Structure 1
Amino acid sequence: MADYFSQTVIRPDIPRTAMTALEYKVLGQIFDHEDVGDDVYFCAGHGPNDLLFLDLAEVKALLTEDDGVASGLADLVRQEIAKCDADDAELELDMSVIGFEGIFQDIIRRSALDHVEVEAAWTCSKMRPDGFGGAATLITADEIESVSTAGWLEEAIARLSGDAPG
């Protein structure tokens, strides 16, 4: 069986004060992280985690702490909490709904950051043709733009063959 990896780095380091308490908690479960002074370096050795299990009481406390701060993550978490049963102790959060990109975009909108860069290297434990490549994503307050190595190669080949859209 082949193992697929999506090693990922986030640049620049994110100021801790730019994140809500909930965003810090969730990004810390999506990525590996390291405090660098007053900033946080996020990365993923195997790939970003998109299925999180969070202590429900802690999440409710974090939401209270962040009350009044515009956050798509907080909106999603409130929706998911509303679906929980009264005796649930854990919140299952599917981050594919908004993605970590949306969290970083909210952080940019509220902070002095003008962008966040995401670079990913796709690798595989076996030499599979679909197991290698990479991507770059640029997140700004208004846009999230991505390019993959496979997409770039397709466009370059189309230009060479004269099939590029014009």
Structure 2
Amino acid sequence: MADYYSQAVFQPSIPKHLITDEDRRFIEAFSITFEADGEDKFYLYADEWCCNGYLDPEEPGGEEIELTEDDLLNRFQEIVRRSNGELQWISKESAYTCSKMRPDGYGGGAIFITADDIQYCFTGQWLEQRISEAETGDIGPGTDDPPPARSIVGVVLEGGLVQSIVSNVPEQIPDMDVIILDYDVEGFEEECLLKVPQSSGEVAHAVGHIEKIAESGIDLRMVLDQMNKRGW
């Protein structure tokens, strides 16, 4: 059985006065280490990177709060914004490795955070485009009109509930509303229920909400490659 590993580093070192106690508590929930860089800065890294964090309750008896990578990136963006130009960007660079030489066990990615934007780049996406160029005859990364990357859509759930719908190339997908329906309506008031006509002519009841397809903060290509190779 193979073990998969991931590590991450963050740049640049962040001035200590820009990080509040709550910032540090939030960031450390992702097992990120704060290491002193001189007297006035922190260098951040994760020996074992995980895209989920767990925030201990502030009060005794409270519930642990689960956080996503998007929550972390938004927190870093808040720090950049609060710095009023002193800190213009924060980057996260990750490496994925494996205890066995499996083709799905290696890769990397980078995320670049500014006050106005969060950008993503992954080696899997870059290789996919290079392979597509080679197979279609449109060779080289500098071609005028490179073939578009294959669209991948991911539905992210937690506890059986849809949290988000993401894509590696949301700009290639027409703007649309995705309706999430759940026919398990036990415990819901009647005014919360939707009427859903069925092909049989009957009308069922469901609860639901609308999701937009957003840009993915995870490497969907790497996930898809692993699922294909494992026959899932």
TM-score between the two structures when normalised by the length of structure 1: 0.73
Residue 42 of structure 1 aligns with which residue? 44
Q: What code does the residue aligned with 2:64 have?
A: E
Q: Which residues of 2 match residues 70-85 of structure 1 at below 5 A?
A: none
Q: Which moved more, 1:45-54 or 1:29-38?
A: 45-54
Query: Which whole-Å deviations, capped at 9, do the CAs of 1:110-131 have from their partners, x for residues lacking one?
Result: 1111111111000111222211
> Which of 82, 88, 91 is the equivalent residue of 1:117?
91
Residue 23 of structure 1 aligns with which residue? 23
Residue 32 of structure 1 aligns with which residue? 33
Aligned residues: 136
The answer on whether the counterparts of 1:29 and 1:49 sit within 8 Å (CA) in structure 2 is no
SS in structure 1 of the partner of residue 61 of structure 2: coil
Displacement of 1:93 in angstroms is 2.1
Q: Which runs of 5+ in 2 are unaligned?
A: 139-145, 149-232
Change (3 A) 1:6 1:116: same
Q: Tell me which protein shows more helix as a share of its residues.
A: 1
Residue 78 of structure 2 aligns with which residue? 106
The answer on whether the counterparts of 1:7 and 1:47 sit within 8 Å (CA) in structure 2 is yes
SS in structure 2 of the partner of residue 126 of structure 1: coil
Q: Which moved more, 1:31-40 or 1:138-147?
A: 31-40
Q: C-alpha separation between the residues in 2 aligned to 1:49 and 1:145?
A: 16
Q: Which moved more, 1:147-156 or 1:20-29?
A: 20-29
> Which of 127, 136, 147 is the equivalent residue of 1:153?
127
Q: Tell me which protein shows more strand as a share of its residues.
A: 2
Q: C-alpha separation between the residues in 2 aligned to 1:53 and 1:115?
A: 25
Q: Which runs of 5+ in 1 are unaligned?
A: 58-86
SS in structure 1 of the partner of residue 64 of structure 2: strand
Residue 54 of structure 2 aligns with which residue? 52
Query: Which whole-Å deviations, capped at 9, do the CAs of 1:41-70 have from their partners, x for residues lacking one?
Result: 11111214623141423xxxxxxxxxxxxx
> Which of 91, 100, 117 is the equivalent residue of 1:126?
100
Higher Cα radius of gyration: 2
The answer on whether the counterparts of 1:56 and 1:88 sit within 8 Å (CA) in structure 2 is no
Q: What code does the residue aligned with 2:71 have?
A: G
Q: Which moved more, 1:26-35 or 1:5-14?
A: 26-35
After the TM superposition, list the runs of 4 or more consecutive aligned residues in structure 1 that deviate by more than 4 angstroms.
none
TM-score between the two structures when normalised by the length of structure 2: 0.54
